[in-house]
C-alpha cells in the first residue's frame, strides 16, 4: 500500500526530492518514461478537514528521460520499494509535449524541512511540483481554475533528475539554450590557449594548451597511511622502493574556476587545485579569453615545488616513534622516508609539464626520484 503524500514520512522519489538543482544545468528530453506504481486512492488537500474530500485513483509516478538508463534504473528501484517486486509498477513511454494544466492535490513534507506540491497530470499521474515553479506559474502564468494550475508545463532535466517547468518561462528558455549547447561542440583544432570555454552544463574553464608530462607509479612500492590523525604503526621487514615512470604525451591542460572569478588574467595562479590535465574535454562554446604568459608552465612548476617544500617540512617535523610514546602522530624512520619519497612522487606530474615535443625540464629537487625510476637525462 502506498502512503499518503500528505504525511511527513512520505517516501520521495529520488530525482524529485527537496534538493532543488539549479536550472543552469537543464536541458529538455524529447521522450519520457513514466514509471508508475499501482493505482491507489488519495484525497485532495483540505486544511480544516471539514469539506468533502475529492477522492482520486492515482498512480505515483517517477518521470525520467527515456534515453537515460541510469535514472530509469533508479526509478525502477523506487517503484519496487521494499518488496522489490516487478508486478507493482509498469512503464509507459510518452513524448515530452506541453501539458496544458495540472491539478493541485496536496503538499508533501520532506526531510530537512523541504516541501513539494503534489499534482496530477491527465487526472492520473501523481508527481511533484517544485515550489519555485508553482510560485513562478502563479505570478506569471494564466492562473488557477477549479484547483487546476494553468501552464502549459513541460519536463526539463535539472541536475540528475527532471522537474516540471512552465512552458516559455525564463527557466524553460534557459533549458532550451542548454539543449542547444548539448548539441554543439568546439573542435579540438579550434581550441586557443587562453580561451575561456563553457561546457554544455554551463561550467567554465581556461584552456592552457597541450602538454607532455611524466607520471610515476609508486602504488606497488609501499603503503601510505590514509590519515595523520592516528598513530602510525612502525613497518616490519625491509622496504625497497619500486617506481615506474611513464611519459604522457599531448594532453589538454585546463584551469577550472567559477565563471565569476574570471575577471583577472592572473586567476590561473590562484591554486594548483584547479589545474587538470585531460585527454579531451567537450566544450560547447568559447565565451572569452585571457592572456597566458609564455612562462606559464614554469610558474606552475614553481608553485608545485613551493608546495613540496612545505610538505617535506611537515613530514620532517613529525615526532619520531619510540615504544611507550603517547604523543601522536609519530612515525618510524622508515615510515618517514616513505612519506618523503611519496611527496616527491606526487610533485612529479606538474613539475614536468612541458609543451609537446620539448625535453624534460631540469628539476634538481626531484633528481632522487628520477634516479629511482631509471631516468638518466635532465633531472
Neighbouring CB atoms inside 10 A of 199's CB total: 17
CA distance 162 to 29: 9
Q: Where are the alpha helices (DSSP H) in 145-283?
A: 170-182
Cis peptide before 312 (omega within 30 of 0): no
Q: Is the pLDDT of residue 23 over 60?
A: no
**354, pLDDT greater than 50:** yes
Put simply, whether the predicted model's pTM sits higher than 0.75 gets the answer: no
What pLDDT was estimated at residue 342?
Answer: 82
Say how many residues make up the chain.
Answer: 379
Out of 13-17, 212-216, 250-254, which region has the weakest mean confidence (pLDDT)?
Answer: 13-17
What mean pLDDT comes out for the span 86-103? 91
C-alpha cell at 64: 525520467
Q: Which pLDDT band, with edges at 50, 70 and 90, does 73 fall under? A: very high
Reply yes or no on whether the pLDDT at 234 is more than 50.
no
Q: Are 103 and 145 in contact (CB under 8 A)?
A: no
DSSP state of 3: P
Number of H helices, E strands in the chain: 7, 15
The domain segmentation of the chain, as residue ranges, is: 14-182, 188-372
Question: What are the Cα distances from residue 57, in Å, to 34, 198, 285, 355?
Answer: 17, 46, 48, 66
Q: Specify the pLDDT at position 3.
A: 27
Torsion of CA 261, 264, 266, 268, to 10 degrees: 30
The pLDDT assigned to 268 comes to: 43
CA distance 122 to 119: 10
Axis crossing angle, helix 131-140 with helix 170-182, rounded to the nearest 10 = 120
pLDDT confidence of residue 85: 65
When pLDDT is averaged across residues 200-214 and rounded to a whole number, the result is: 88
Least confident of 17-31, 103-117, 134-148, 318-332: 17-31
- The tens digit of pLDDT for each residue in 135-186 reads 999 999 999 998 899 999 999 987 778 999 999 898 888 888 777 777 788 9
Confidence of residue 266 (pLDDT cuts 50, 70, 90): very low
Predicted local distance difference test score (pLDDT) of residue 231: 35
Q: What is the number of other CB atoms lying within 10 angstroms of the CB of residue 260?
A: 7
Q: Is the pLDDT of residue 97 over 90?
A: yes
Residues 97/31, Cβ–Cβ less than 8 Å:
no
When pLDDT is averaged across residues 43-52 and rounded to a whole number, the result is 63
User: Taking 50 as the threshold, does the pLDDT of residue 230 lie above it?
Assistant: no
- Residue 179: is the preceding peptide bond cis (ω within 30°)? no
pLDDT score of 22: 36
Condensed to tens digits (0 to 9), the pLDDT of residues 287-327 reads 888 888 888 899 889 888 988 998 899 988 888 776 666 55
CA dist., res. 374 & res. 377, Å (int): 10
Q: Are 131 and 117 in contact (CB under 8 A)?
A: yes
| Cα–Cα distances in angstroms (integers) from residue 256 to residues 63, 195, 214, in the given order | 33, 12, 22
What is residue 291's predicted lDDT score, i.e. its pLDDT? 87
Amino acid at each position: 500500500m502506498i502512503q499518503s503524500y500528505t504525511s511527513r514520512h512520505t517516501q520521495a522519489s529520488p530525482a524529485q526530492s527537496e534538493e532543488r538543482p539549479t536550472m543552469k544545468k537543464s536541458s529538455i528530453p524529447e521522450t519520457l518514461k513514466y514509471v508508475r506504481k499501482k493505482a491507489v486512492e488519495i484525497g485532495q488537500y483540505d486544511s480544516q478537514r471539514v469539506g468533502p474530500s475529492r477522492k482520486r485513483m492515482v498512480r505515483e509516478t517517477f518521470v525520467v528521460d527515456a534515453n537515460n538508463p541510469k535514472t530509469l534504473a533508479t526509478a525502477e528501484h523506487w517503484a519496487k520499494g521494499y518488496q522489490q517486486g516487478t508486478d507493482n509498477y509498469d512503464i509507459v513511454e510518452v513524448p515530452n509535449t506541453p501539458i496544458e494544466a495540472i491539478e493541485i492535490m496536496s503538499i508533501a513534507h520532506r526531510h530537512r524541512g523541504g516541501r513539494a506540491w503534489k499534482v496530477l497530470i491527465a487526472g492520473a499521474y501523481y508527481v511533484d511540483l517544485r515550489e519555485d515553479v508553482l510560485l513562478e506559474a502563479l505570478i506569471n502564468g494564466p492562473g488557477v481554475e477549479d484547483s487546476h494550475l494553468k501552464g502549459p508545463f513541460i519536463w526539463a532535466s535539472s541536475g540528475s533528475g527532471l522537474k516540471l517547468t512552465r512552458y516559455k518561462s525564463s527557466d524553460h528558455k534557459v533549458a532550451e539554450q542548454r539543449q542547444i549547447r548539448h548539441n554543439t561542440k568546439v573542435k579540438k583544432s579550434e581550441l586557443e590557449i587562453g580561451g575561456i570555454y563553457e561546457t554544455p552544463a554551463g561550467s567554465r574553464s581556461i584552456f592552457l594548451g597541450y602538454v607532455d608530462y611524466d607520471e610515476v607509479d609508486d602504488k606497488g612500492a609501499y603503503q601510505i597511511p590514509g590519515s595523520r590523525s592516528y598513530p602510525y604503526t612502525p613497518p616490519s621487514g625491509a622496504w625497497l622502493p619500486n617506481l615506474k615512470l611513464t611519459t604522457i604525451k599531448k594532453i589538454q591542460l585546463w584551469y577550472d574556476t567559477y565563471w565569476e572569478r574570471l575577471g583577472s588574467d592572473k586567476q590561473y595562479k590562484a591554486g594548483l587545485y584547479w589545474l587538470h590535465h585531460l585527454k579531451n574535454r567537450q566544450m560547447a562554446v568559447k565565451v572569452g579569453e585571457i592572456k597566458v604568459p609564455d612562462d606559464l608552465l614554469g610558474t606552475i612548476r614553481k608553485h608545485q615545488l613551493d608546495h613540496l617544500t612545505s610538505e617535506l617540512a611537515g613530514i620532517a617535523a613529525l615526532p619520531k616513534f619510540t615504544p611507550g610514546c603517547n604523543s601522536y602522530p609519530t612515525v618510524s624512520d622508515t615510515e618517514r622516508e616513505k612519506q618523503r619519497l611519496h611527496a616527491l612522487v606526487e610533485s612529479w606530474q606538474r613539475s614536468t609539464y612541458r609543451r609537446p615535443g620539448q625535453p624534460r625540464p631540469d628539476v634538481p629537487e626531484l633528481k632522487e626520484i628520477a634516479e629511482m625510476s631509471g631516468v638518466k637525462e635532465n633531472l
